[in-house]
Structures are given as C-alpha cells and as structure tokens.
Structure 1
Amino acid sequence: MPDAEMAALLQAVLDEVCADLAPFDTATRERVAARLSNRIRSGRCSVDDLKQAGRDALIRAPTMWP
C-alpha cells in the first residue's frame, strides 16, 4: 500500500491525465489507474514517468492479443 504522499501523487496524476474523460467513463479511469500502479511497482515513480504511463494507457486501447 502506498504511503499518503504517494497516494496523493497517484490521485493527482490520474485526475490530470483523465481530465478530459466523461465522468461516467470509469473503465478507462480504471485502466489508467492500473497502468499507474504497475509503473509504481516497477520502481519508476517520477511524476513524468507516471504521466507518460497514464497517457500511454489512454492511447493504447486494450486488446485480447499481445
């Protein structure tokens, strides 16, 4: 579980990256949040790394194939 400072950073990045999404588009917000969480687990947790991961999650739609 991230500490309070990291949780606040993740929330701020999520809100910024998803600012243009419709409020009811929770599936996309969840995908972005999952990508941010994965980036944190990989040890790459600078603000720029997190923002890039969030933008990548918005650009690359999930598929069933690798």
Structure 2
Amino acid sequence: MFDPATTALLRTVLDEVCESVSRAQTGARARVASKILEAATRGETSPDHLKQVGRQALSQAPTRWR
C-alpha cells in the first residue's frame, strides 16, 4: 500500500500525536491512526498536515479515550 518511507512517516506521526496517550488506550490510538491513514490515502504526505489531522482526531475522541 505505502512505500517504506511513507510507512515510517505515518508511524512517527502517530507516535508524536499520541505521545500523551497510553498505549493501552487502543481506541484513541486506532481513531488517530485511521484518520492519518485516510489522509495519506488521499495523497496527503506532509508531516505537518498529517499531525494536524491526527490532533484533530484525538481532540474529537470521547474523553474516556484521552
């Protein structure tokens, strides 16, 4: 689906956006990952834009996920 460099970028963005989210909170991390992947699938590969998409997804997650 994505080349290795893009995959590494997506993982890095996810980790940065979710740095304050416990790895045990899989629902929140999955929501953020999903939104980042959707953006990347549409061709958005700018790290700043992907981080913005991820932060927006995290801010809209139910509070019990944060």
Give, in whole Å, the separation in 1 of the partners of 2:49 and 2:24: 26
Give 5+ residue unaligned stretches, structure 1: none
Structure 2 partner of 1:25: 25
Give, in whole Å, the separation in 2 of the partners of 1:42 and 1:23: 27
SS in 2 for 1:20: coil
Count of matched residue pairs: 62
Structure 2 partner of 1:40: 40
Superposition CA RMSD, Å? 1.1
Which is helix-richer, 1 or 2? Answer: 2
Measured after TM superposition, the shift of residue 44 of structure 1 is 1.6
TM superposition score normalised by structure 2:
0.87
Q: Does 1:12 align with 2:23?
A: no
Give 5+ residue unaligned stretches, structure 2: none
Q: Does 1:50 align with 2:50?
A: yes
TM superposition score normalised by structure 1:
0.87
Aligned residues with identical type, % of pairs: 45
